[in-house]
Amino acid sequence: MKTEAGILKNVKSVEKPKQELLKKMKKYWQLYLFIIPALLYFLIFCYIPMYGIQLAFKEYNPVVGITKSPWIGMEHFTRFFRSYHFRTLLLNTLSLSLKQLLFGFPIPILLAIMLNQVRNEKFKKTVQTVTYAPHFISIVVLVGMLNIFFSIRGGLVNEVLNFLGKESILFMGEEKYFRNLYVGSGIWQNMGWNAIIYLAALTSVSPDLHEAAVIDGASKWKRIWHIDLPSILPTIVVLLILNVGQIMSLGFEKAFLMQNSLNIGKSEIISTYVYKIGLINAQYGFATAVGLFNSVINFTLLIIVNKIAKKISDTSLW
C-alpha cells in the first residue's frame, strides 16, 4: 500500500504540470484570440516565403508553381559563384557595409556621451530635436538631397570647392565617391536617432558613482572612460551583434536610388543585383539562390558574433 501510494504520488507529480498547463490554457483561452491574427501574419508572410526558398534549388516553371518545379540541385549556386559578377558583388557589399559599421556605429555612441555631458537642458534638447529629425526623411528625399547638394551644376559642395579655388567634382557619377556619400549621408540621417538608446542607458547610470569620482578628483574625461563607457557597454555589445547580423542586408533602397551607369562598378551590391536579375529579368530561381546565399551569410555571422560576445563579455542576444 505504501509503495503504491508512492507510485501514485510520482505519477501525479509527473502529470500535474501537463494538466495544469491545459487548465491554464482553458482558463485563458481568450488570450489566444489576441495573438491569432499576428500568428497568421507571420505564418503567411514570413514562413511561407521561407518555404519558397526551395526555388533556389529548382528550375522555376510558372505554369506548375514552386512545389512542382523540377529540382536541379546546386546549379544556381555554382553558376553564381562562377560568374564574373560574384567577386565584385561580394566585395562591393562587404566593403560598403564594413565602412558603414566602422563609421556609422561609433558616432552615435560618441554623440550620446557628449550630449550626456551637457548640463544646459535647452542646448541639449535643441541638439536632440534637430539631430533626430532627419531620421524621418524618406530615402527618396535623402538621395534627392544628395543629388542637389553634390550636383555638378551649382551644387553647394562644388560651390565651396570652387570658392576654395578647386575644380568641380561629379560626385554622384564617380565610383570612388559612392561609398563615402552612402555612409556619410547615413550618418547624417541616423546618428541622432541611434544615439537615443545610448542616452537612455547613460541616464540610468547612478549619480553616486560620478559624485564619488568627483570627490576623488577624477576629471570628466576619466569619468567618461571609467564610469560612462563601462555602464553602456552591454547596450553597445547587443547593438553591435545586431548590426553585424545585418551586414549583408544593406539597405537596398538607398544603393538602388544612388545607382547610375557611372558608379555601377561600386554601387552594384547583392540586393540590387537580386532585384534586377529576379524582378526585371524574371530569373526567379537564380535570384532566390543569390538572396539565400546572402541571408545564410548574415545568419551565420550573427550566430558567430553572438557566441564571441557571450564568451568575452557575458552579453548576448540569447
Partner 1 sequence: MFSQDFQRQSTGDKIFDIINHLILFLVLLLVLYPLYFIVIASVSDPNAVSAGKVWLAPKGLNIKGYHAIFENQDIWSGYKNTILYTTIGTMVNLAFTVPAAYGLARKELVGRNIFMGMITFTMFFGGGLIPTFLLVSKLGMNNTMWALIFPNAISVYNLIVTRNYFAYSIPEELHEAAEVDGCSEGKYFFKIAVPLGKPIIGVIVLMYAVAHWNSYFNALIYIRDRHRFPLQVILREILIQQEASSGFGDAASVIEQQKLADMLKYGVIIVSTLPILCVYPFIQKYFTTGLMMGSIKG
Q: Which of residues 29-88 bind partner 1 (CB under 8 A)?
A: 30-35, 37-39, 41-42, 44-53, 55, 66
Per the listing, cell 538607398 goes with 254
Instruction: Say which DSSP state 44 is in.
Output: I
Q: Out of 181, 292, 305, 309, point to the residue binding partner 1 (CB under 8 A).
A: 292
Binding piece for partner 1, criterion CB under 8 A, among 78-86, 90-98, 132-140, 308-316: 132-140
Q: Does 225 bind partner 1 (CB under 8 A)?
A: no
By CB under 8 A, what part of segment 297-316 binds partner 1? 298-299, 302
Residue count of the chain, please give it: 318
* 3 vs 37, beta carbon nearer partner 1: 37
Q: Does 97 bind partner 1 (CB under 8 A)?
A: no
Taking CB under 8 A as the rule, which mask of x and - marks residues 164-183 in contact with partner 1? Answer: --------------------
* 10 vs 162, beta carbon nearer partner 1: 162
Binding piece for partner 1, criterion CB under 8 A, among 3-11, 84-92, 93-101, 189-197: 189-197
Taking CB under 8 A as the rule, which mask of x and - marks residues 245-284 in contact with partner 1? Answer: x------xx--xx-------------x--xx--xx----x
Q: Out of 16, 19, 83, 159, point to the residue binding partner 1 (CB under 8 A).
A: 159
Q: Out of 1, 73, 165, 221, point to the residue binding partner 1 (CB under 8 A).
A: 221
Contacts of 194 (CB under 8 A, 6+ apart): 108
Other C-beta atoms lying within 10 Å of the C-beta of residue 39: 11
Q: Does 215 bind partner 1 (CB under 8 A)?
A: no
Backbone angles phi, psi at 40, to 5 degrees: -60, -40
Which pairs count as long-range contacts for 257-263, CB under 8 Å and 24+ apart, including other chains? Answer: 257/139, 257/140, 257/143, 258/143, 258/146, 258/172, 258/178, 258/181, 258/182, 260/172, 260/173, 262/170, 262/172, 262/173, 262/174, 262/175, 263/172, 263/173, 263/174, 263/175, 263/177, 263/178
Q: How far apart are CA 53 and CA 8, in angstroms?
A: 50
Smallest separation, CB 56 to partner 1 (Å)? 9
